[in-house]
Amino acid sequence: MITTAYTLTVRYVETDAQGIVHHSNHLVWFEEGRSDLLRQQGMNYTDFEKAGFFVVVVEANLKYKAPAYYEDEVRIETTLEKAKGKVLEFSYRALNAAGVLLAEGRTVHVVIGTDRRPTPLPEEILARLTGRGAGEGG
């Protein structure tokens, strides 16, 4: 599938009293990685919402490997692992400037319509999201 990279600089507000990035921020960074992946594919969440589709997180997994600190540069690698019907699955890796793995994770999303019920994304959106032509299968 598709992998993109997004680089951020750790902000002071993201650190705890020990000067280490608070664990809750990794999921925020992963969300930024997802949004950036969509932008790199020429889309964004607003496009989905305008078309009547909302992407909700139904599962999130995260493993911490090493700490990050204030002003560290962190590279978020986001991979679209699955895009089929009403399910999207992403994996993530957060690495510091030296290439040390800080955290890795995975999120699973279900697409819902304006009626708040699960609904598949149209094939043309899936094709655009995955970078393949419509009708190539997935």
Catalytic residue set: 16
Is the CB of residue 2 less than 8 Å from the CB of residue 80?
Answer: yes
Q: Which amino acid appears at position 92 of this protein?
A: Y
- At 59, is the secondary structure helix, strand, or coil? strand
Bridge partners of 36, per DSSP, are: none
Neighbouring residues of 112: CB distance < 8 A, sequence distance ≥ 6: 53, 54, 56, 86, 118, 119
Residue position matching structure tokens 């009403």: 86
Q: How far apart are CA 122 and CA 117, in angstroms?
A: 15
